[in-house]
Every structure is written in C-alpha cells, then in structure tokens.
A and B are shown apart, each in its own frame.
Chain A
Amino acid sequence: MKYIDEYRDGRLAMDIARQIVATADLVRSYHFMEFCGGHTHAISRYGLEDLLPPNVRMIHGPGCPVCVLPIGRIDAAIALAMRPEVTLCTYGDLMRVPGSDGSNLLKAKAAGADIRMVYSTLDALRIAEAEPNREVVFFAIGFETTTPPTALALKAAIAKGLGNFSIFCNHVLTPAAIQNILESPDVRKLGTIKIDGFIGPAHVSTVIGTEPYEFFAEEFQKPVVVAGFEPLDVIQAILMLVRQVNDGRHEVENQYIRAVTVFGNEKAQAEVANFFELRESFEWRGLGEVPYGALRLRPQYATYDAEKRFSMVTPAAKDNPACECGAILRGARNPADCKLFGTVCTPDTPMGSCMVSSEGACAAHWTYGRLREKARQAAAARAVA
C-alpha cells in the first residue's frame, strides 16, 4: 500500500528506536501520554513498546470517544431506542458499551429496539429519507474529527427538509480533556502521576490545527507533539518529546506536517460553529465533569436535537465501584492494576468502558499486550526470589 507501508517500515523504526536509546538520559525516566485511542491502538498493534528503552514509558490517555461516554448517556440512548417510533442509528463501536445493570444497545436491539449500525452520518440520512414514518436519530459521538460530518449531515437534513431526522449529540473536545487531566489533583498538586509530555492526535489537529495546544504547553509547561497514527509517526513523536524534555523545552511541535497546519481546517471549524455550541459542563466517563469539554446543538436547531425533541433525560448512573477506568484514563493506574482486569472484565464481557473499544486502554492491553505484563511480573518474581 503506497503511502502507508512507508510509515510502517521496520528498519526505519529500529533506526529511530536506536536514536531514542541514545538520546534518553539514563538517570531519568520519561512518561508520555498518548491522548488518543488511535495512538494506543497503533502502539499495541505494532508492538511499539518493545522498541522503547525501559525508562521511556507510555501512558494511555482518554482519547477514545466510546470509552469516555458516561453510563447515563448509554442508558438514555437505550431508553430512546426502546420508543416504538424511533430508529437509532449508531456506529458499531457503541453497540457493546455497557450501560447500567449489564445493559447495552446490542441487548436492546435483541429486545426489539430498532437500532441500526451505520458507517457514516450519510447512512443515517438515507434511512431518514427512505423511511419518512420513522423518527431517525443519529447517535453522534467522537472528537473534533467526527464533528464536521455531523454538522454536514444536519446541514443536509435541513436542506432536504427532513422532519424526521435528529441528532443525539455527544461530541467532545480534546484540548479541554487534556487540560482537565493536567489540572486533576493527582497530576497537578500531588504529583502522583508523572506526565512529561503529550502526543496529540493528528486527525483532530487536521481540523483544529496545533494552535489550541499552545495555551497549556505554556501554562503547564508540558511539551506536545501532534503526531500521525502510523507506527513510525508515533515513534518519531516519542523521539521529539524526549529531545524537548532533555532541552527543557515545552513547545507544540507538529510531526504530522503532511496534513496538519497551525490553524487547521477553518471551513470545517466554521461549519461546526454554525451548528454547535459549547456545553458548560459534560460528564466524561473516567474524568467526571469536564468544563467546556463537549458540544451541543445551538438552540435554533432544537427540533434536530434529540435531547430536546424527545425530552431525553440522562439518568445518574455509576460505574462498578471496583472499575478503575477513571484512574486508568487519567494515567493514574495501569490496566493490570485493576482487580476486574482479565478476571470478570475482558473484551467479551466488558465491565468498564476502557475494555469495550479496541482503542480503549484496557482492551488494547488485553488484546495485544497482556503477555508483556506477565513477563514483567515473572521478571519481578524472579528478582524477589
């Protein structure tokens, strides 16, 4: 595959890995958070951590839209889907996200709810056009990358005069979440979580640019490298972060110059701004309430806003108390630290959100990396003996 294989070249990877080993200061450790689940997936799938020296560690962040969706929003979506007039269109990733009491959309579908898996917002629009007697609701989730398509779907629905189409908006924002992590007590005040820098998601930055990160790179003095999702992109970003830390710099650097600019895609931003506004606060699974961390439809589009159209309520719902997803999403714990991990909570029987999507920290660790943990434990046991 031209333009893809070049970014998966094992020889180049070894070369960069050697540079990281040569550059990383042996007397200190480096902890970098890859914010986005796409990076977590790439790191796990290509076994990238095997190429890093022991003093360079990756922390898997909360950038998985499925993982950060709170239980209450899933419960609300299930309640909506159970209404006889409603057809709920959703991305496949959401089907198995656990709601309260072991419920999920897959089970709701089996119980008779009209839930359809779609691959894009356009599929949902097509269904709304083809079935004018159904109330078609698109379950919109995702970061800045998936928000413009939702905005365009809304624009198209309005242009076509589709009166039976609406959106259950759960779009969330990357910079707000990173800021929330940096401001959380265990990171900022207690210093229990060490984060020396961030890898920023390139796809988000193709839309928003690199500029939104400037503030907290400066305010929190943490370097940010916006990187692509191919394994060479990620390992190069790690080298760039190591260099920044060594130099005492905290800049926003752009590794993904093939598509990301400082100001991003201003047309897409304008379309989003036309239809969406900031929520004062929105619950993120794992992070809690994040101020200005999500979007909702502007009031003039209330008829297209499923929350208003169907007077939806988001019930208060709590995760299993033993679930460590919250701490894992903030980087305070590793997946293997959680009592549920690999016992009752596996990708087949997810208890927490991090286990659901292949981009979730726990699922990625279980699917690709649990052996590494076992090897580490075995080594530790041998050391003790």
Chain B
Amino acid sequence: MNKMGVKAYTWKLDIANGRVDLSHGAGGRAMGQLIEDIFHKALDNDWLRAGNDQSTFAVPSGRMVMTTDGYVVSPLFFPGGNIGTLAVHGTINDIAMAGAVPLYLSACFIIEEGFPLADLECIAQSMGDASRETGVPIITGDTKVVERGKADGVFISTAGVGRVPDGLDLRADAAQPGDAVIISGSIGDHGVAVMSKRENLEFDTAIISDSAALHRLVAAMVAVGGKHIRVMRDPTRGGIAATLNEIANQSKIGFHIDEEAIPLKPEVAAACEFLGLDPLNVANEGKLVAVVAPDGADVVLAAMQAHPLGAEAMLIGHAVADENCFVQMATSFGGGRIVDWLSGEQLPRIC
C-alpha cells in the first residue's frame, strides 16, 4: 500500500516507440505523465510549472487584443515546419496584424488514439522552440485524446492575447482610396510546400514554408509609421486574392495591383503552373499585406525592407474608389483582369 506522499510506480513513457492511447486523455496518471514528460518539458516556463488549470498574469494598461485559431494541417510535417510551429506563428501573427505586441498563448491538443509519441514530442518541442525564439510563452493548455478515426493525427487549437500600442487603431474598414498596398515578401511558398508533401501529389521541390512570426517586423513598421498604417492582414488561406477582397469589401473601396510587382519565387511559379493553381490564391504563413496611407508608404516600406522578414517587401498597388469593391490587376501580359475570391477548394485543373 502506498503511503501519502509516496509516488506510485509508473512505467516510463516510451517516447521512441510508444503511441498515444485513450488513457492519456482519461484524467489519470497516464495523462499527467504525458503532460509532464512531453508538454511541460518542451514548453517549460513558470506558469506551466505551477501546474494550475489556468494561468494568471498582470494586465497592462491600454487596449488588449485577443484571438483564437485552429490548426488541422495535412500533412502534419512539411518542409519548413510542422503543425506546432504553424500554431505558434499563426496565433502570434493574428495578434500582430492589429499592430499589437503578443504577450501570451494557450494551446489545446486534440490527439487521435494511436498517434506516435515521438511525433507528439517533436511537435511540442517545435512549439517550445518557436515560443522561446519569438519570446511569447505558452502559459496554459489542455489535452484531449479521441478514438482512432475521430481526428487526423493531432489538431491544435490556440488562443493568444497581446497589447495594442497606444494610439494605434488598425481595422479592416479603414482603407481609403489612394492608400498604398505593400506585401512583405514572395507569395505562395507555404501552400506549395505543404502540397508538395500531400499524399498522391508528392513532388520534389526545394520550396520550404514561409512559416514565421511577424510581430517583430510589425513592431519595426509601427515604430516608424504606425499612424500611417490603416490595415494589416496575413494572407493565409485563400492567399492575397482573398485578403485584398476582404479588405476591399470591408473598407468599401477597390484595389488596383500590378502583377509584375508581386514577388513570386520561380520554383513556386513553376509548381503552381503544373498544379494548375493561381499563386494569388495560395496560402502564406509568414507574410503580411499592409494598406498604408500615401504619406507613410515610403517609410513603412523602407522599415520592412530593412527587416529580414520583409527584405523582399514590395509596393504592389493602390486602393481606389470603387463601389463594386473589385480587386483589379494589370497582367504582365498587358491586359487587365479581376482578381476574385476562390470558389471552393483550390484544385488542380484537369486539362
């Protein structure tokens, strides 16, 4: 019989060969062990070490921002990252697009029975690395295990809070005719990197995901031209086509963009070509689109180009008065066309 204070004997977690089973989500010792040996170890900080069901932190003055996000990427591991890095970067970026400084994150893992512990550890460690590198701690979390077939490996759901610098008020309905449209770098890298590893579609490519946290780039932009920035958004699903259409509709303006000005890696262009995709619709995970008042366009662009994550930033067009809220593009061929939202999932054409 165990005496009070004597730890019951448990088998060591077999991370190399073991798999997540239903007991890891059942609230017993196995779950505690999984959380301790994988998540706390990887994400280590004072809040997690305290072992509470929640974490407390001091509230700064001014305005705060909160966001939530879900990650269901397939495959879980792709060139340039995995679902874990994506979750950290993506949540930080959602906060940063308000011009805000990200402070804390949370993470909830929904794990499918049978998922290899080694993969889970790898994902958790990637999140820990990303969290330390970005300086944004994951201070609370949750773990659930569902029966085989009820999830696809692992899903991650996050939340994040941040602080908005005083005087900054970025909103999607604030773009005005004449504003400059700036993109922080080449488009489509993430979508193509993920697709290159999809089952049945595998192709060899040197393209890696652009997954990155943009809060430091944003801080550099805000420092020099915060008052000129009207809207920022990270063009994830649906690519820059969706982002520009969203802003156009919310701000009730149109955009004129120039195809030749949009940075696009030749490898990404080639992959899109043979997959029948339009790079404007392909997802990014480490890029932002900024709509900037004309007076501030030069300084903001210069600040972006001086930062490693914005070295290839380009001015790609302007907002215009347009009651139809169309995004129009001058093609490199010399004609013009509308850039529309994508309908349904972007799928390769067949002939």
Q: Which A residues are closer than 8 A to B by beta carbons?
A: 1, 4, 8, 10, 13-14, 17, 38, 41, 44-51, 65-66, 91-93, 95-96, 106, 117-119, 123, 126, 141-143, 145-146, 203, 231, 346-348, 357-359, 363, 366-371, 374
Contacts and interface: CB of A to CB of B under 8 A. Distances in A.
A51 B334 contact: yes
> Ordered nearest first, which 7 A-B pairs have the shortest CB separation?
A47-B335, A92-B347, A347-B343, A50-B335, A46-B333, A368-B337, A10-B334
A46 B349 contact: no
Contact of A47 (B200, B331, B345, B347): B331
Contacts of A143: 351
A1 B266 contact: yes
Contacts of A95: 344, 347
Given A95-B344, A348-B343, A119 B200 contact: yes
B273 interface: yes
B340 interface: yes
A4 B273 contact: yes
Contacts of A48: 333, 335
B200 A45 contact: no
A93 B273 contact: no
A37 B349 CA distance: 11
11 contacts: A10-B331, A48-B335, A49-B335, A92-B347, A95-B344, A142-B350, A231-B333, A347-B340, A371-B324, A371-B326, A371-B328
B200 A118 contact: yes
* Chain A, interface SS category: helix
Nearest to B333: A46
Interface in B289-326: 324, 326
A119 B335 CA distance: 31
A203 B334 contact: no
A38 B351 CA distance: 7
B16 interface: no
B338 A14 contact: no
Contact of A45 (B270, B337, B345, B351): B337
B336 to A, nearest CB: 5
A349 B347 CA distance: 17
Contacts of A92: 345, 347-348, 350
Nearest to A96: B344
Contact of B349 (A13, A126, A358): A358
B66 interface: no
B332 interface: yes
A141 B153 CA distance: 34
Contacts of B334: 10, 13-14, 17, 47, 50-51
Contacts of A146: 350-351
B351 A369 contact: no
A17 to B, nearest CB: 8
Contacts of A366: 340
A203 B347 CA distance: 20
A359 B349 contact: yes
A47 B348 contact: no
Interface string B19-53: 00000000000000000000000000000000000
B335 A46 contact: yes
Given A47-B335, A142-B351, A1 B270 contact: yes
Nearest to B342: A347
A370 B347 contact: no
Given A10-B332, A106-B344, A358-B349, 8 more contacts: A45-B331, A65-B351, A92-B347, A93-B347, A118-B200, A123-B200, A231-B333, A347-B344
Contacts of A4: 270, 273
B317 to A, nearest CB: 15
A368 B345 CA distance: 18
A66 B347 CA distance: 14
A142 B349 CA distance: 11
Nearest to B332: A10
A126 B200 CA distance: 10
Nearest to A142: B351
A8 B273 CA distance: 13
Contacts of A45: 278, 331, 337
B201 interface: yes
B149 to A, nearest CB: 14
B269 interface: yes
Contacts of A370: 338
B338 A367 contact: yes
Contacts of A10: 331-334
A4 B328 CA distance: 24
Contacts of A91: 347, 350
Listed residue (B326, B332, B333, B347) with the most chain A CB atoms within 10 angstroms of its CB: B333
A70 B199 CA distance: 31
A13 B270 CA distance: 21
Contacts of B335: 46-51
B350 A8 contact: no
Interface string B184-224: 00000000000000001100000000000000000000000
Nearest to B201: A119
A275 to B, nearest CB: 19
Contacts of B266: 1
Contacts of A346: 343
Contact of A8 (B270, B333, B340, B349): B333
Given A1-B266, A50-B334, A93 B349 contact: yes
B218 to A, nearest CB: 32
A218 to B, nearest CB: 28
B333 A47 contact: yes
B348 A119 contact: yes
B200 A8 contact: no
